[in-house]
Amino acid sequence: MIKSLFDKVDLTPPVLLVLGVLFLLLPLLPGEFPLVVGTEILILGLFALSFNLIYGYMGQISFGHAAFFGLGAYTSALILRPMIEAGQLGYVGFFLALAAAVPVSAFGALIVGFFCVRLTGIYFAILSLAFGELLFYIVFSWYSFTKGDDGIQGLMAPSVLKSGLVYYYFTLAVVVMAALLLWKITRSPFGFTLRMLRDNQNRTAFLGIDIRRVMLLNFVIAGAFAGLAGALWGPFQRSVSPALLGWHQSGVPVFMTLIGGAAHFAGPLVGSIIYTALNAYVTQFTTYWSLTIGLIILGMVLYLPGGLLSVLDGWRQRRRKAGT
């Protein structure tokens, strides 16, 4: 009975539940450092979850997703900055600044997506990379508006939220709500329309679906959630810089999703835990982080292409084979 339940039930709720409890308990670890790493895991995890809407569910790979993360980060930073300078940062202004990132990133994704969804495969990948780099250069060189390479410094959250602990729980609350919303979307009829598109584009068109509209809507949703993640980043790191839009940042959700497993909703979150924790830990010993993560990616691609959570599928398959 239990065995057959294990075979049938969607593993996402238990995995999410375990992760949720771990995140709730994380501040019990001593020191400020786990809070910093934890907040980063959550923000980048949300970023990666939004990316996987395009990759795992729609079957296209975007190498420019950081553009929307960065757009969100800059939107809230540019709204927060004058309030902080005037010493008038309150909760309402702060929340509005975060919320504003969502429509701005969504709008950015609408424009970029309008072009990208005309293509698939490597052409989609190249075009998304090109647009990402284009937005990076715009932010980088528009000094009067974005302060260019200097970035925007001195960002913060208002009063109580300034505490690392409170900001951690605030981030946790936002990310949990966003993740639940994303999960709902992936299980909706639209979520299955995406899977159909991933599996067989021509057939989907024959069923009577305008493929480009599906891709565009999904691109915009993914951009909006990436923007929300980006908005949380500035007050956490106290600054934003053009690198947040660059290709290096676009690689982050790709790596996380690959490590955790793109076929599982929680995969990118698991990937974020491993990637971010490793990053925090490894960089204490060596400055060769790219080399380390590069070797890990190489190992994953060669030996565990489905990501860590695919181990669960392996168990299931063996049970099913043993059962019948």
Partner 1 sequence: MSPSILEVRDLNKVFGGISATKNVDFDLAPGAKEAIIGPNGAGKSTFFALVSGYHRPDTGSIRFDGKEITGQKPHEIARLGISRAFQVSNIFPRLTVEENVRSAIQVRRGKAFDLFSRADMVGLERTEEILSLCNLSPKRSRPAGELSQGDKKKLELSLALAGQPKLLLLDEPTAGMSIEETKETMELVDRLNATFGLTILFTEHDMAVVFNHAQRITLLHRGQIIMTGTPAEVRANEQVQKIYLGGQA
Partner 2 sequence: MPTDWGSLLIQLFSGLSRAMMLFLVSSGLSLIFGVMNILNFAHATLWLLGGYITFSIYTLLAGYYGVSILLLAPAVVAATLALFAIGWAIERTLVRRMYGRELPEQLLLTFALILIIGDLIRLFWGVQNLRIVLPIEPMPVLGSFVNPYLFFIIAVGLIVAGLLWWFLARTRTGKIVRAAVYSRDMVSALGIRIPNIYALVFALGVAIAAFSAGVFLPIIPIGLGMDMDLIVQCFAVVVIGGFGSIVGTFVASLLVGIVYSFSILIWPDGALAIIFVILVAVLIWRPWGLFGTEMRF
Q: Which residue from 305, 315, 317, 320 is in contact with partner 2, where contact means CB under 8 A?
A: 305
Q: Which does 125 bind (CB under 5 to 8 A by kind): partner 2, partner 1, none?
A: partner 2
Given partner 2, partner 1, none, residue 8, with its beta carbon under 5 to 8 Å by kind, binds: partner 1
Site for partner 2 (CB under 8 A): which residue of 11, 99, 110, 119? 119
Tokens at 112, concatenated: 């970029």
Token code pair at residue 29: 């670890």
**How far apart are alpha carbons 164 and 22 in whole angstroms?**
17
**Which of 213, 238, 248, 318 is in the footprint of partner 1 by CB under 8 A?**
213
248 binds partner 1 per the rule CB under 8 A: no
Q: Is 298 in the site for partner 2 (CB under 8 A)?
A: yes
Residue 155 touches partner 1, criterion: CB under 8 A: no
Tokens representing 110? 């609408």
C-alpha pair distances (Å), 2 with each of 7, 8, 9, 319, 320: 9, 10, 10, 12, 13
Query: Residue 38 is encoded by which pair of tokens?
Result: 């934890």
| 109 part of the interface to partner 1, by CB under 8 A | no
Total residues at interface with partner 1 (CB under 8 A): 28
Q: How far is the CB of 230 from partner 1 (least distance, A)?
A: 22
Q: Which is nearer to partner 1, 149 or 199 (CB)?
A: 199
Residue selected from 99, 247, 310, 316 as contacting partner 2 according to rule CB under 8 A: 247
Extract the tokens encoding 184: 């709902």
Asked if 43 and 272 count as a contact pair (C-beta separation under 8 A), the reply is no
Q: Interface with partner 2 includes 169 (CB under 8 A)?
A: no
Q: Which stretch, 60-68, 94-102, 190-198, 296-304, contacts partner 1 (CB under 8 A)?
A: 190-198
Is 282 a binding residue for partner 2 by CB under 8 A? The answer is no
Residue 190 binds partner 1, judged by CB under 8 A: yes
Shorter beta-carbon distance to partner 2: residue 22 or 298: 298
Nearer to partner 1, 186 or 241 (CB): 186
- Which of 192, 281, 288, 289 is the binder for partner 1 (CB under 8 A)? 192
Angle at which helices 189-199 and 164-187 pack, to 10 degrees? 70
Q: How far apart are CA 257 and CA 260, in angstroms?
A: 5
- DSSP calls for 257-300: HHHH-TTSTTHHHHHHHHHHHHHHHHHHH-S-HHHHHHHHHHHH
Q: CB 301: neighbour CB atoms within 10 A?
A: 10
Is 202 a binding residue for partner 1 by CB under 8 A? The answer is: yes
For partner 2, which is the closer residue by CB, 52 or 193?
52
Buried residues in 102-141 as b, exposed as e (16+ CB within 10 A): bebbbbbbbebbeebbeebeeebbebbbebbbebbeebbe
Question: Does 274 sit near partner 1 (CB under 8 A)?
Answer: no
Tell me the closest approach of the beta carbon of residue 130 to partner 2, in angstroms.
5
> Among 215-223, 272-280, 300-308, 314-322, which window interacts with partner 2 (CB under 8 A)?
300-308
CB of 104 to partner 1, least distance (A): 21
Nearest one of 151, 155, 52, 64 to 112, comparing CA atoms: 64
Per the CB < 8 A criterion, the answer to whether 55 and 254 are in contact is yes
Q: Which neighbouring-strand residues pair with 152?
A: 240
Residue type, 122: I
Residue 192 CB, shortest distance to partner 1, in Å, is: 4
Footprint of partner 1 (CB under 8 A)? 8, 184-185, 187-193, 195-196, 198-200, 202-203, 205-211, 213-214, 217, 221
